[in-house]
A and B are shown apart, each in its own frame.
Chain A
Amino acid sequence: MSQPADHTVHANHSPLRSALQGVREAIPLLGGYIPVALSFGLVATQAGFTTWEAAAISALIYAGASQFLFVGMIAAGAPLWLVVAMTLLINVRHVVYGPNLAALLPRSRHWPWLMHGLTDQVFALALTRLPQLPEVKRFSWFVGASLLAWGVWIIGTAVGATGGEAVTARWPLLGEIMPFALPALFLTMVAPRFTDKRWAAAMLCTILAALGLNLAGWSNVAIPLAAACGALCFYTVTFQPRRSRP
């Protein structure tokens, strides 16, 4: 798709319209967010947290896997220092997300709080979409996409905490079908890389490693470990260019 000339974009740019574009393009993420947020709300109340406390954890920590670990360890009676250490350890993977987006986003004094919205899924969407957008639209686009995801995560937690059991009992297939939006979305993000053999091999290695680690019960470390395997594969596997026959 061709982009209009930069000066034309500057003249016609509306921050609200760019933010709404971000909101629209983040909608597929919600297929994964809503069922997981409902489950978290339900699990948190079962662990003894109130609706307000569960929603506050979602609003403040805002990192799915580590939130489940946090309430699970609290419910099991683990010491608080260990709960904090494990929660932060699981979230260490986030340190590589920001640098990858640094060149794509403009400087702003709002980043210290806006980067709170940089989850696995928002990172994946932003890394794919931002290079395709004119520079002037990127800030508002990120605000729209990340705020939608954050808001839905908090509301989903509150709904799950108040009526999660009723929702899952009424629509039992909802929690199974909606999460498929995530693998479908990520597939459309990685597919363009499969035109290059070296990238394809490394990505396939990453996908299979993440799948295997998750099936083996290592879901908390699957993302960073699988990505490291893929990067290793990228550096070690090289393809010889096909020789033309004389």
Chain B
Amino acid sequence: MSSAMWIAVIICALGTLLMRVVPFLWMQRRLGSAAGMNAMPQWLVILGPMMIAAVLGVSIVPVNPSPVSWLATAIGLSVTLLVWRRLRSLGWPVAAGVGVFGAVEVVAALI
């Protein structure tokens, strides 16, 4: 890699780090001021959970989209939701969902 390319990597890395750290420190300073918790704009409180929902929407698409992988996704997500409703935790619902998704994919590959 040429030195120009290394400089490009470092600019991208520094720029991305600044985008992560500066708004965080700015908000911490704002929250520590006299305005306190009211300093957090409401749109930002709404946008946080929406970002998680958007990451979910993006990650739903299977690696190799096909009728089988979409079916496995639907069954896997349903199982995840059912186990979550019962246990209200993060670990087991994910394990159950991945297990069932994998089982559907493997069975379909064997048929």
Interface centre among B24, B31, B48, B77, by most A CB within 10 Å? B24
Q: Mark A172-210, 1 if CB is under 8 A from B, else 0.
A: 010111111111111111110100000100110011111
In the complex, are the beta carbons of B69 and A176 less than 8 A apart?
yes
For B57, give the chain A residue with the smallest CB separation: A210
Contacts A66-B12, A98-B23: A175 and B54 contacting too (C-beta < 8 A)? no
* Size of the chain A interface, CB-CB below 8 angstroms: 92
Determine if A93 is an interface residue (Cβ-Cβ < 8 Å). Answer: yes
Which B residues between 31 and 64 are near A, CB-CB below 8 angstroms? 31-32, 37, 40, 43-64
Cross-interface CB contact of B97 among A35, A112, A180, cutoff 8 Å: A180
A102-B31, A188-B84 in contact; A60/B47 too (CB < 8 A)? no
Given A98-B23, A173-B109, A211-B58, CB of A183 within 8 Å of CB of B46: no
Given A66-B12, A94-B20, answer yes or no on A185-B94 (Cβ-Cβ < 8 Å): yes
Q: Mark B67-106, 1 if CB is under 8 A from A, else 0.
A: 0010011001100110011000111011101100110011
Is A184 a contact partner of B76 (Cβ separation < 8 A)? yes
Check: B111 CB closer than 8 A to any chain A CB.
Answer: no
Most-contacted residue by chain A among B10, B54, B106 (CB, 10 A): B54
**Interface residue from A60, A128, A190, A210 paired with B9 (Cβ < 8 Å):** A60
Question: In the assembly, what is the distance between CA of A81 and CA of B30, in Å?
Answer: 34
Of the stretches A11-19, A148-156, A158-166, A223-231, the one at the interface is A223-231
Smallest CB gap from B52: residue in A? A124
A70 sits at the interface (CB 8 A): yes
Q: Using Cβ atoms and an 8 Å threshold, which residues of chain A touch B61?
A: 211, 214-215
Contact (Cβ within 8 A) B58 A214? yes
List chain B residues, Cβ under 8 A from A56.
9
Given A88-B15, A115-B17, A176-B62, do A231 and B94 touch, yes or no (CB 8 Å)?
A: no
Q: Do the beta carbons of A121 and B62 come within 8 Å of each other?
A: no
Across the interface, B77 reaches (CB within 8 A) one of A183, A222, A227, A235, namely: A183
**Chain A 94-116 against B: per-residue CB contact (8 Å), 1 yes, 0 no?**
11111111110101000110011
Complex Cα gap A213–B76 (Å): 22
Whether A177 contacts B94 in the complex (CB less than 8 A), given A96-B47, A102-B27, A190-B52, comes out as no
A128 to B79, CA, bound (A): 21
Residues B46 and A231 in contact, CB atoms below 8 Å apart: yes
Chain A residue, CB-CB nearest to B23: A98
Whether B54 and A181, one on each chain, are in contact in the complex, defined by CB atoms closer than 8 angstroms, is: no
A-to-B contact residues, CB < 8 Å: 25, 27-28, 31-32, 35, 49-50, 53, 56-57, 60-63, 66, 70, 74, 80, 83-84, 87-88, 91-103, 105, 107, 111-112, 115-116, 118, 120-121, 123-124, 127-129, 173, 175-191, 193, 199, 202-203, 206-211, 213-215, 219, 222-224, 226-228, 230-231, 234-235
